[in-house]
Amino acid sequence: MKLKVMGSLIAAASCLGCYQSCTTVSAEINAQDELVWCHDKVNKSLVTLCADNGNIDYTMMPRNIEGNSSVWHCRPAVPEEWCSGFWPGILWMDYAASGDENIRKQAELYTSSLKSILYKPVFDHDLGFLFFCSCGKGFEATGNPEYKSMIIQASDSLGTLFNPTVGTILAWPRHIKDFGGHNTIMDTMMNLEMLFWAARNGGNPNLYDIAVKHAETTMNNHFRPDGTCYHVAVYDLETGKFKRGCTHQGYSDSSVWARGQSWAVYGYTVVYRETKEKRFLDFAEKVTDAYLARLPEDYIPYWDFDDPRGEAAPRDASAACVVASALLELSNYVKPDKGIKYRDNAMKMLASLSSDKYKTDDSKPAFLLHSTGHHPAGTEIDASIIYADYYYIEAMSRLAAMQNAKMK
Ligand code: GLY
């Protein structure tokens, strides 16, 4: 492994400024070892993705493993699949960590299958998940200018969904009638990172303004006073005024859907990174604190914090991965005491996720168990889901870089 780091993680935690609070859990996590384990799982996935003739169909993307299945259920990369960028992104992060040229080749082939999306009418807001999680990681690992062009093209397309009367990006054009207005969802906060990046890297500079306006309008309308969010905010198409908050994937309109809250934590962390505006940092802290205050003992949320089944409710490991990755970044922006708290929480989340309770055994090629996709629709409940793995390897890559830097 390129980033292989030897030595005491207790020392690393101390250097990171969290010796008091993190030593017990950090001693249980060696991010480099976790990345080696992920590399092994990625290779197992590639074997299971081969057809009988030994070839891989690069237009089919791993999506989930449910029940006792030991193989990925795959979906076509195009046209209406929001998760197609995660598997290429995992391959790029694995390539960055392992330096394995075969993984690079696989990453290139899977990333290529996304190209045709760019030449179709914009389906919805998921272009950021599709292109920044794939081409963004690919560009980071290789500097390939084709990936930059794809990101810029996807960003221009995403920008067409921005409604200036409302001040947000329309999430689902196909659902305007169902919701009775312009619908914005918390998930879109994740897609702003691509707009910021494009604006900074030769794309249309107006994309920056769109991203900031979306974050601001969302901050003002999409949250309850306690910092928890609705999944969906509906706005009047004529006046642009906020009409109501409701849910699509959560337990109820007034409940706290864990992944929605995790998108808010990650999203506002990125908005602060890109704008350096204090109002967004304060808000990132507020939504993070609302999430942390609701966590059960093992730091992995129930799929919805308000599922009345309480401890019997399914978990959502994917939300924990998203928040752990975000907290490793956010902890660097806040005041030192808060930074210690956030790093400590991130380490506890990662310690839990990397325990036998959440990691798969040899029977499955995914990294993690126990995520929940769309509970109200009855799909992907207590399953391995590709985006949990994506944010897990991202969090471990971030942690490895921190441990590596501090050991030098
Ligand atoms: N709609 C994206 C998600 O399930 O979080």
Report the alpha-carbon distance of residue 305 to residue 315 in Å, rounded.
9
Q: What is the pLDDT of residues 133-143, one digit of tens each?
A: 999 999 999 99
What is the residue range of 286's domain? 7-407
Does position 13 have pLDDT exceeding 80, yes or no?
A: no
| Segment 116-135, tens digit of pLDDT | 999 999 999 999 999 999 99
Question: Dmax of the chain from CA atoms?
Answer: 61
Report the atom number in ligand 1 closest to the C-alpha of 185. Answer: 1
Place of tokens 């272009």: 127
pLDDT grade for 19, boundaries at 50, 70 and 90: very low
Q: Which residues contact 151 (CB under 8 A, 6 or more apart)?
A: 131, 132, 135, 136, 139, 194, 197, 198, 201, 203
Residue 1 lies in a domain: no
Ligand 1 centroid to residue 176 C-alpha, Å: 18
Number of domains in the chain: 1
- List the residue whose alpha carbon is closest to atom 1 of ligand 1: 187
pLDDT top residue among 145 and 25: 145
Q: Supply the pLDDT for residue 3.
A: 35
User: What does the pLDDT read at residue 80?
Assistant: 85
Residues with CB under 6 A from ligand 1: 187, 249, 259, 373
Which tokens sit at 368?
């993690």
Mean pLDDT score, 331-351? 98
Q: Is the dihedral of CA 214, 215, 221, 222 positive or negative?
A: positive
Task: Quote the CA–CA distance of 62 and 86 in Å, as a whole number.
Answer: 9
CA of 41 to the centre of ligand 1 (A): 24
Take atom 4 of ligand 1 and give the residue whose Cα is closest. 373
Rounded distance, CA 91 to CA 45, Å? 11
pLDDT of residue 220: 98
Q: What angle do CA 119, 121, 126 make, to 5 degrees?
A: 95
Q: Which atom of ligand 1 is nearest to the CA of 263?
A: 5
Do 389 and 368 contact (CB within 8 A), yes or no? Answer: yes
Q: By C-alpha distance, which of 353, 355, 374 is closest to 247? A: 374
- Coil, strand, or helix at residue 65? strand
Region 66-90: mean pLDDT is 96
Residue 140 lies in a domain: yes
Closest atom of ligand 1 to 260 CA is: 5
Task: State what percent of residues in the chain have pLDDT above 90.
Answer: 91
Q: What is the pLDDT of residue 407?
A: 81
Average pLDDT over residues 377-403: 98
The CA dihedral of 9, 12, 14, 15, to the nearest 10 degrees, is 170
Domain presence at residue 237: yes
Q: Is the distance from CB of 215 to CB of 268 less than 8 angstroms?
A: yes
- What does the pLDDT average to over 15-42? 69
CA separation for the pair 171, 246 (Å, rounded): 14
Q: Token digits for 261?
A: 């809250």
Yes or no: say if 322 and 263 are a contact pair by the CB < 8 Å rule. Answer: yes
Assess whether pLDDT exceeds 60 at residue 363. Answer: yes
Q: Are 17 and 340 in contact (CB under 8 A)?
A: yes
- Average pLDDT across the chain, whole number: 93
Of 172, 186, 249, the residue with max ligand 1 atoms within 8 A of its CB, to mutate for a pocket test, comes to 249
Residue 17 confidence (pLDDT) above 60: no
Exposure string of 59-80, with b = 16+ CB inside 10 Å and e = fewer, is bbbbbbbeeeeeebebbebbee
Does residue 2 form part of some domain?
A: no
* pLDDT at position 78: 92
Cα 139 to Cα 201: distance, rounded to the nearest angstrom: 12
Centre of ligand 1 to C-alpha 158, Å, is 17
State how far the Cα of 369 lies from the Cα of 361, in Å rounded to an integer.
9
Give the CATH number of the domain where residue 109 resides: 1.50.10.10
Residue 108 lies in a domain: yes
Tell me, letter by letter, the H, E, C secondary structure of 2-65.
CCCCCCCHHHHHHHCCCHHHHHHHHCCCCHHHHHHHHHHHHHHHHHHHECCCCCECCCEEEEEE
- Distance between start and end Cα atoms, the chain: 17
- Give the pLDDT confidence score for residue 23 in this predicted structure: 36
CB 242 within 8 A of CB 232: no
Q: Sheet harboring 242-246: ordered strands across?
A: 182-185, 232-235, 242-246
Q: Please name which of 139, 93, 98, 102 lies closest in space to residue 1, comparing C-alpha atoms.
A: 98
**The two structure tokens encoding residue 149:** 């062009």
Query: Quick check: helix, strand or coil at residue 181?
Result: coil
User: Has residue 15 got a pLDDT over 60?
Assistant: no
Can you list the positions of beta strands (E) in 100-238? 162-163, 168-169, 182-185, 232-235
How far, in Å, is the centroid of ligand 1 from the Cα of 7?
38
Residue nearest to atom 2 of ligand 1 (CA): 187
Ligand 1 pocket test, pick from 184, 232, 259 with the greatest ligand atom count within 8 Å of Cβ, gives 259
pLDDT score, position 408: 78
Using the 8-state DSSP alphabet, how is residue 115 labeled?
A: G
Q: Which single residue is written with the structure tokens 């309480």?
A: 310
Answer yes or no: is 244 within a domain.
Answer: yes
Average pLDDT over residues 87-103: 98
Catalogue the active-site residues: 126, 187
The pLDDT, as a whole number, for residue 12 is 34
Atom of ligand 1 nearest to the CA of 259: 5
- Residue 373 CA, ligand 1 centroid: distance in Å: 7
170-228 confidence digits (pLDDT tens): 999 999 999 999 999 999 999 999 999 999 999 999 999 999 999 999 999 999 999 99
User: Rounded to the nearest whole angstrom, what is the distance from the C-alpha of residue 149 to the centroid of ligand 1?
Assistant: 26
Alpha-carbon torsion (149, 81, 108, 274), positive or negative:
positive
Kindly report whether the global pTM for this prediction surpasses the value 0.85: yes
Q: What is the mean pLDDT of residues 106-124?
A: 96
